[in-house]
Amino acid sequence: AGRNEAGDRSPANKEKVLMVDAALFAIREIMEDFPEAVLYGQDVGRRLGGVFREAATLAEQFGDHRVFNTAIQEAYIIGSTVGMSAVGVKPIVEVQFADYIYPGLNQLVTEISKSCYLSCGKFPVQTLIRVPIGAYGGGGPYHSGSVESTLLTIKGIKIVYPSNAADMKGLLKAAFLDPNPVVMLEHKGLYWSKVPGTEEAKTTEPSRDYVLPLGKGTIVLPAEQAKVDAGETCCVITYGMGVYWAKAAAKNFTGQVEIIDLRTLYPLDEDLVFTTVKKHGKCLILTEEQQNNSFAEALAARVSKACFKQLDAAVEVLGALNLPAVPMNMLLEKAMLPNAEKVAARIDALMRS
């Protein structure tokens, strides 16, 4: 996919699309352009078209030999991509919910992540694994979980996490073209922009040739230069739903908060992260995951070391409470997860420190 953004991100004549539809349109275009592409997983076939309607009409257009259902068996869904890739097929597969990826972890770790390395490059596995993730209104302990820290301990796979429709389409194209295995984490609460404050997840649909390279973060909200110069700013580094919590919280601190959307968790855009932290001297890393031993805490350690001389305060991390699961009860779910108010309180404390 190259290192530079290609194609038109915001064509003048295109309508705004939901994130779930941006993924659908991207896969449709991929399947039209690449006859070797197939899509399979639980319920993505003709009858249902995905539990989120994320594969609607694809089986009708491309046939049951290219878009089909599997058994409820994640080890097969993930593991079969090794054989598919070996014979020149390019599989796009779906694990129905992030919480159900665990039966497939053995295949992901033992086969997929190691194949290219152990064969000295002879047997790379080119696969795209789509995983709906995150808490979305009372889904309960088996439909609300986050798994990125678990996946990020696996070497040999790339992990992307878009927060809006344009990034979804651009990253999905780049992930498909990448010769490495890529896991795409897609927040269910952003699919339809139904969660209050997530309207901006809906964007103009990028052009057919739009590709957003993996490993490139972006500044979604810049701070005012005058306030940076006065030393009155901080940055928030986040991804997924965290982008919208941070944007809402930043409204309480006009011009004082700069927000980075990582977009790719591995490979990480360290240049953007470190440059931004050094500019502000204060940093909050925000995640939906339970905080202890998370990717966010690991990133905080890297930021603390790389930016030590420029920091004016300890690097802050805000994640969910360290509970075994996301509760079904909506009040308990709200108490567990970060939100705009919790982020604003943490920014306020950081600014005063």
Same-domain status, 58 and 123: yes
Q: Compute the distance between CA of residue 25 and CA of residue 19 in angstroms, rounded to an integer.
A: 10
211-268 confidence digits (pLDDT tens):
999 999 999 999 999 999 999 999 999 999 999 999 999 999 999 999 999 999 999 9
pLDDT of 14 above 80: yes
| Average pLDDT of span 12-25 | 93
Residue 46: predicted pLDDT: 77
Same-domain status, 141 and 236: no
Return the residue matching tokens 């780049």: 174
In this predicted structure, which of 4-8, 25-29, 261-265 has the lowest mean pLDDT? 4-8
Same-domain status, 68 and 186: yes
Residue 147 inside a domain? The answer is yes
Residue 31 inside a domain? The answer is yes
254-312 confidence digits (pLDDT tens):
999 999 999 999 999 999 999 999 999 999 999 999 999 999 999 999 999 999 999 99
Residue 5 inside a domain? The answer is no
Same-domain status, 185 and 77: yes
Record the tokens describing residue 187, joined without a space: 């927040």
Residue 209 inside a domain? The answer is no
Q: Compute the distance between CA of residue 274 and CA of residue 257 in angstroms, rounded to an integer.
A: 16
Which range marks the domain in which residue 333 is found? Answer: 218-352
Same-domain status, 278 and 200: no
Residue 57: predicted pLDDT: 85
CATH number of the domain residue 254 falls in: 3.40.50.920
pLDDT of 128 above 90: yes
Residues 6+ apart with CB under 8 A from 222: 258
Same-domain status, 154 and 49: yes
What letter does residue 208 receive in the DSSP assignment? T
Q: Which of 65, 143, 187, 280 is catalytic?
A: 143
DSSP readout, 66-106? TEEE--S-HHHHHHHHHHHHHTT-EEEEE-SSGGG-GGGHH
Residue 50: predicted pLDDT: 67
Residue 1: predicted pLDDT: 41
Residue 43: predicted pLDDT: 85
Domain boundary residue, one of 178, 204, 230: 204
Q: List 289's β-bridge partners, or say none.
A: none
Record the tokens describing residue 346, joined without a space: 């943490």
Helix, coil or strand: residue 316: strand
pLDDT of 208 above 50: yes
Same-domain status, 35 and 103: yes
Residue 328: predicted pLDDT: 96
Closest CA to 202 of 15, 36, 26: 15
148-158 confidence digits (pLDDT tens):
999 999 999 99
Whether this model's pTM surpasses 0.85 = yes
Residue 81 inside a domain? The answer is yes
Residue 13: predicted pLDDT: 85
Residue 143 a catalytic site member: yes
Domain boundary residue, one of 204, 226, 247: 204
Same-domain status, 154 and 248: no
Same-domain status, 249 and 329: yes
CATH number of the domain residue 129 falls in: 3.40.50.970
Helix, coil or strand: residue 108: helix
Q: Angle 325-160-58 (CA atoms, 0-180°, nearest 5)?
A: 95
Domain boundary residue, one of 153, 170, 204: 204
Residue 342 inside a domain? The answer is yes
Domain total of the chain: 2
Helix (H) or strand (E) holding 107: helix 105-107
Same-domain status, 45 and 176: yes
- For residue 283, give the amino acid letter: C
Record the tokens describing residue 125, joined without a space: 């596995």
Between the CA of residue 173 and those of 30, 31, 160, what are the distances in Å? 7, 11, 12
